[in-house]
C-alpha cells in the first residue's frame, strides 16, 4: 500500500519535478558557463512562457480528454488552420464589413463554429461507423487540410484589424490574452473532467468500454461531445493566435497534433485511455516550451529541441513502463 | 456451416473490394479521358508513386506485425540529406555514400526495433518520439541547409531517380523488384508467417515458441531498409533535398497501407494489397489533375475513400452497416 502511494506520488509529481530540474539546469548552465547575459528564471520570461505555449497548450487540453476517452485526434492541426482562415476571411465578407468592429465577435463565432462542425464530423464517423478514431482522424487530417487549401489556394489569408490585435495583445499581471485563454480552458476542462458526470464517464469509457456499456453509459454521445470539444478548442487556439497575427498560411498547424500528443503523454496520460489528468498535461505543455526556451537560452541550435524532446518522450515511456502496469497495454485500435 | 460460408464470401468480397473499386475507377477514368491509361501516363504515375510505395512496403511489415511506424517521413529526410552530404564529401562519392547511408538509416531502424521489440514499448509513442528526434538529427547534420549536388553531370548518382532500363524508369523497377521480393518473404517464408502470427496474437505466438521480440525487431529493420531505398530514389531524382522532404509522408504511407486493407490491429494485410493502395492514391491524384482540379482536391477525395474503404471492411466483418455503439 505504501509502495502504491509512493508510485502514485512519483507518477503525478514527475512532470513538475522535471520542470524544476529544467529550470535549475538552464539557470545554472546559463550563468556558470556565462552563455547568456540574462537570468533564465526571470518573472517576465516565465510569464511569457504561458503565452508562447498557449496555441499547443489549448489543443493539448482537448487532446487529453480525447485520449482519456480512449481515442486520438490527428486532425487538430488542420482544424486549427481552417478555423483561422474562416475567422480572418469572414471579416471581409460584405455582411460583416458593414458592422465595423462588431464583426470581430461574429468572426470568432464563425471560427469556433467551424471547429465544432469539424469535430462533430469526426465524432459522428467514429460513433456511427465504428472505424477506429486513429484512422478516421488520419483521414480527416488529410481531408481538412484539403479544405484549407481549397478555401484560398496556396495563398496566405490575411486580414489585420487593429481592434482585434489590441484585444489579443491586451495584458494584465504580465500575462497576455492567449495565456489567460490557456489557463481558463485548462481550468474549465479540469472542472469538467473531475466534477461532472460526463468527465467521470469519459474515464470509465476509456478504462473499459465493455464495462461502461454494461453500466448503461451511452458511449457514443460521450465520444461525440469530446470530439466536438477538441474541435472547439482547436478553433479557440486559432482564434487566440490569429487575432494577433492576422495572417494564416495554408500549411499552418502541421505537426500540431504530434506536439499536442507529446505534451499529453509527457503529462502522464495513457494512450490506452482511462487515466490521465489536465494538470499533468498543463505540466507537459510547460515542460516542452521550457525546454525550447532553455535550449535557446544556453545558445543551443534550435534544431536540438526536436532531438531532445524526442529522446525525452522515449525516456518517459521507458520510465513509465517501470512505474505503471497500464502502460504495458497495447494501444486499443 | 452455411453461415460460415456466407461470412467467408462476404469477407472475400471485402478483401478484394479495394481491387474491384480500383478497376472500376480506372475504367471510368479511362473512358472519360483516354490519356489516363496511355503507357507514358501510367509510368509517370507509378514513378511518382514509387517513393511513397517503397516506404509503404516496409510499413506493411510493421503494421502486419501489430505496430505502427510514424518515423518513416523523418527517416526519409534523414537518409536523403545524409546520402547527398556524403556524396559531396571529398573522398566518398556515390559508391561509398550509398552503403554508408544504408548503414546509418538501418541503424536508426534497429534502435526503433529494439525499443519496440525487445523493450516492448508502445510503438506509436516511440516512433512519434523518433519522428521528432530524427528530424532534429537531420537538422543538426545539415545545419539547417538544403543539400545539393554541385556537379550533377559528373556523377552516376542520378541513375536511381532519373535513369531507365528497357524503357522502364529505374524507380519503377526498384519498386517492382522490392515489392516482389518482400511479397515472397511475407507470404512464402517461415519469417513471413511469424510476422502474421505475432501481429494476429502476440501472446499466442510467444507461447508457440515464436521469438516475438526478434520478429518485431526485424520488421523495423525491413521498414528502415525500404526508407533508405526511398531516400536514395528521392535524393537521386532531385539531386538535392530539403530537411523537410519527407515531412508528413508517414501518414500518407499509413493511408496507403490502410487503403490496401491492412488492419491496424495487426495480423492482416499483404504486400500486393499495399501496392494497390499506393497505386490507387497515385492514380486518384493523377486522375484529378487530368480533370483539371487542383492537387489539394485529392486530399479530400483520399479522406472519403479511406473512411469508406475501412468502413466497408469493418461492416462486412461484423455483418452490420452501422456500429453497435449506443
CA distance A76 to A261: 11
Average pLDDT of the segment spanning A102-125:
90
Write down the mean pLDDT value for chain A: 81
- Residue range A252-290, pLDDT digits in tens: 887 788 888 888 888 888 777 788 888 889 988 988 888
Q: At what angle do helices A43-68 and A219-245 cross, to 10 degrees?
A: 150
Q: At what angle do helices B297-318 and B249-259 cross, to 10 degrees?
A: 40
Assigned domain for A40 exists: no
How much is the pTM? 0.82
Contact predicate B64/B195, CB 8 Å: yes
Rg (CA), chain A: 20
Q: What is the DSSP letter of B41?
A: H
Task: Answer yes or no: do A314 and B126 touch at CB < 8 A.
Answer: yes
B244 CB neighbours in chain A (<8 A) are none
Contact predicate A140/A78, CB 8 Å: yes
Kindly report the CA angle at B289 between B286 and B294, in degrees rounded to 5?
A: 135
From the centroid of its chain, how far is CA A84?
16
Q: Give chain A's domain count.
A: 1
B322 torsion bin: left (phi>0), alpha (psi -120 to 50), beta (else): beta
Kindly state the cell numbers that stand for A96.
460583416
Instruction: Please tell me the predicted confidence (pLDDT) of residue A8.
Output: 63
Chain B interface test: which of A122, A133, A146, A252 (most B C-beta within 10 Å): A146
Range of the domain at A91: 2-28+55-326
- Residue range A27-82, pLDDT digits in tens: 777 777 665 666 666 777 777 788 888 889 999 999 999 999 888 888 999 999 99
Instruction: Answer whether residue B10 shows pLDDT above 70.
Output: no
Assigned domain for A118 exists: yes
If residue B240 lies in a helix (H) or strand (E), which one and from where to where?
strand B240-241
Average pLDDT of the segment spanning A217-242:
91
Kindly state the cell numbers that stand for B323.
456500429
CATH of B52-318, one of 1.20.58, 1.10.357, 1.10.150, 1.10.3470: 1.10.3470
- Residue range B103-162, pLDDT digits in tens: 999 999 999 999 898 888 888 888 888 888 898 888 888 877 788 777 776 777 777 777
Strand B147-148 vs strand A171-172: parallel, antiparallel, or unpaired?
Answer: unpaired
CA distance A47 to A24: 17
Does residue B69 sit at the A interface (CB-CB below 8 Å)? no
Q: Which residues pair with B147 in a beta bridge?
A: B241
Give A 255-274 residues with CB within 8 A of chain B. 255, 258, 261-262, 265, 271
Assigned domain for A15 exists: yes
Assigned domain for A142 exists: yes
- Nearest-Cα residue of chain B relative to residue A142: B299
CA distance A68 to A280: 12
Instruction: Please tell me the predicted confidence (pLDDT) of residue B16.
Output: 67
Specify burial of residue A31 (Cβ count, 10 A radius: 0-12, 13-18, 19+).
middle
Q: Which residues pair with A157 in a beta bridge?
A: A248
CATH number of the structural domain spanning residue A291: 1.10.3470
Is the Cα torsion angle B140, B145, B150, B155 positive or negative in sign?
positive
CA distance B1 to chain A (A): 27
Q: How far, CA to CA in Å, does B119 sit from each of B112, B199, B248?
A: 10, 17, 27
Assigned domain for A34 exists: no
* DSSP helix/strand/coil, A224: helix
Give B 129-158 residues with CB within 8 A of chain A. 129-137, 139-140, 143-144
Residue for grid cell 490502410: B258
From the centroid of its chain, how far is CA A332?
21
Task: Answer yes or no: do A258 and B131 touch at CB < 8 A.
Answer: yes
Each domain of chain B, given as residue ranges in start order, spans 52-318
Residue for grid cell 542520378: B158
CA distance B307 to chain A (A): 6
Side-chain-side CA neighbours of residue B305 (13 Å): 27
Does residue A326 sit at the B interface (CB-CB below 8 Å)? no
Q: Which of B140, B8, B150, B24 is nearest to B74 (CA)?
A: B140
Residue for grid cell 465578407: A93
Q: How far, CA to CA in Å, does A18 sit from each of A21, A271, A288?
A: 5, 21, 10
Q: What's the complex ipTM?
A: 0.78
- Residue range B240-293, pLDDT digits in tens: 788 778 777 887 888 888 888 788 788 888 898 899 889 888 888 888 888 778
Assigned domain for A35 exists: no
Does residue B30 sit at the A interface (CB-CB below 8 Å)? no
Percent of chain B past pLDDT 70, that is, above it, reads: 94
Assigned domain for A315 exists: yes
Amino acid at each position: 500500500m505504501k509502495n502504491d502511494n509512493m508510485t502514485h506520488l512519483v507518477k503525478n509529481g514527475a512532470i513538475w519535478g522535471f520542470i524544476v530540474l529544467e529550470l535549475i539546469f538552464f539557470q545554472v548552465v546559463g550563468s556558470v558557463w556565462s552563455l547568456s547575459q540574462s537570468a533564465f528564471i526571470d518573472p517576465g520570461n516565465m510569464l511569457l512562457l504561458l503565452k508562447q505555449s498557449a496555441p499547443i497548450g489549448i489543443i493539448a487540453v482537448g487532446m487529453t480528454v480525447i485520449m482519456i476517452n480512449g481515442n486520438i485526434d490527428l486532425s487538430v492541426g488542420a482544424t486549427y488552420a481552417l478555423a483561422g482562415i474562416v475567422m480572418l476571411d469572414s471579416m471581409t465578407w460584405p455582411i460583416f464589413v458593414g458592422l465595423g468592429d462588431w464583426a470581430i465577435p461574429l468572426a470568432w463565432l464563425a471560427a469556433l463554429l467551424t471547429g465544432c462542425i469539424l469535430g462533430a464530423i469526426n465524432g459522428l464517423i467514429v460513433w456511427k461507423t465504428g472505424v477506429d478514431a486513429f484512422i478516421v482522424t488520419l483521414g480527416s487530417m488529410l481531408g481538412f487540410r484539403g479544405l484549407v487549401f481549397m478555401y484560398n489556394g496556396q495563398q496566405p489569408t490575411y486580414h489585420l484589424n487593429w481592434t482585434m490585435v489590441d484585444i489579443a495583445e491586451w495584458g494584465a499581471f504580465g500575462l497576455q490574452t492567449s495565456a489567460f485563454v490557456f489557463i481558463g480552458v485548462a481550468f474549465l476542462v479540469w472542472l469538467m473532467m473531475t466534477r461532472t458526470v460526463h468527465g467521470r464517464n469519459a474515464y470509465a469509457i476509456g478504462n473499459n468500454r465493455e464495462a461502461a456499456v454494461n453500466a448503461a453509459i451511452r458511449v457514443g454521445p460521450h465520444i461525440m461531445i469530446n470530439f466536438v470539444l477538441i474541435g472547439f478548442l482547436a478553433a479557440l487556439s486559432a482564434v487566440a493566435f490569429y487575432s494577433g497575427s492576422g495572417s494564416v498560411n495554408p500549411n499552418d498547424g502541421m505537426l500540431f497534433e504530434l506536439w499536442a500528443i507529446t505534451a499529453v503523454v509527457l503529462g502522464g496520460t495513457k494512450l490506452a485511455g482511462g487515466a490521465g489528468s489536465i494538470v499533468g498535461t498543463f505540466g507537459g505543455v510547460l515542460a516542452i516550451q521550457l525546454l525550447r526556451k532553455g535550449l535557446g537560452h544556453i545558445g543551443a541550435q534550435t534544431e536540438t529541441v526536436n532531438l531532445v524532446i524526442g529522446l525525452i518522450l522515449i525516456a518517459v515511456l521507458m520510465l513509465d513502463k517501470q512505474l505503471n502496469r497500464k502502460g504495458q497495454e497495447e494501444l486499443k485500435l | 456451416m452455411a453461415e460460415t460460408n456466407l461470412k467467408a464470401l462476404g469477407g472475400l468480397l471485402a478483401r478484394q473490394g479495394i481491387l474491384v473499386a480500383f478497376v472500376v475507377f480506372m475504367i471510368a477514368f479511362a473512358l472519360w479521358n483516354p490519356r489516363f491509361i496511355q503507357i507514358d501516363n501510367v509510368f509517370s504515375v507509378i514513378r511518382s508513386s514509387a517513393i511513397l510505395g517503397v516506404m509503404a512496403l516496409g510499413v506493411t511489415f510493421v503494421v502486419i506485425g501489430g505496430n505502427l511506424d510514424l518515423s518513416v517521413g523523418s527517416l526519409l529526410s534523414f537518409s536523403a540529406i545524409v546520402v547527398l552530404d556524403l556524396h559531396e564529401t571529398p573522398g566518398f562519392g556515390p559508391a561509398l555514400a550509398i552503403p554508408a547511408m544504408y548503414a546509418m538509416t538501418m541503424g536508426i531502424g534497429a534502435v526503433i526495433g529494439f525499443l519496440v521489440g525487445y523493450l516492448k514499448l508502445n510503438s506509436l509513442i516511440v516512433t512519434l518520439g523518433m519522428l521528432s528526434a530524427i528530424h532534429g538529427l537531420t537538422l543538426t547534420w545539415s545545419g539547417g541547409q538544403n543539400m545539393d549536388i554541385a556537379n550533377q553531370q559528373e556523377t552516376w548518382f542520378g541513375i536511381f531517380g532519373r535513369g531507365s532500363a528497357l524503357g522502364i524508369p529505374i524507380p519503377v523497377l526498384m519498386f517492382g523488384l522490392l515489392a516482389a521480393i518482400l511479397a515472397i518473404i511475407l507470404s512464402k517464408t517461415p519469417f513471413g508467417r511469424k510476422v502474421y502470427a505475432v501481429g494476429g496474437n502476440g501472446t499466442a505466438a510467444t507461447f508457440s515458441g515464436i521469438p516475438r521480440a526478434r520478429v518485431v525487431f526485424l520488421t523495423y529493420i525491413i521498414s528502415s531498409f525500404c526508407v533508405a531505398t526511398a531516400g536514395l530514389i528521392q535524393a537521386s531524382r532531385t539531386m538535392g533535398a530539403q530537411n523537410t522532404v519527407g515531412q508528413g509522408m508517414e501518414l500518407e504511407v499509413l493511408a496507403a497501407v490502410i487503403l490496401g486493407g491492412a488492419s491496424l490491429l495487426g495480423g492482416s494485410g499483404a504486400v500486393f494489397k499495399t501496392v494497390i493502395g499506393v497505386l490507387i492514391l497515385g492514380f486518384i491524384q493523377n486522375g484529378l489533375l487530368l480533370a483539371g482540379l487542383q492537387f489539394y482536391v485529392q486530399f479530400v477525395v483520399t479522406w472519403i475513400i479511406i473512411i469508406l474503404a475501412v468502413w466497408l471492411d469493418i461492416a462486412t466483418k461484423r455483418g452490420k452497416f452501422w456500429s453497435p455503439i449506443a
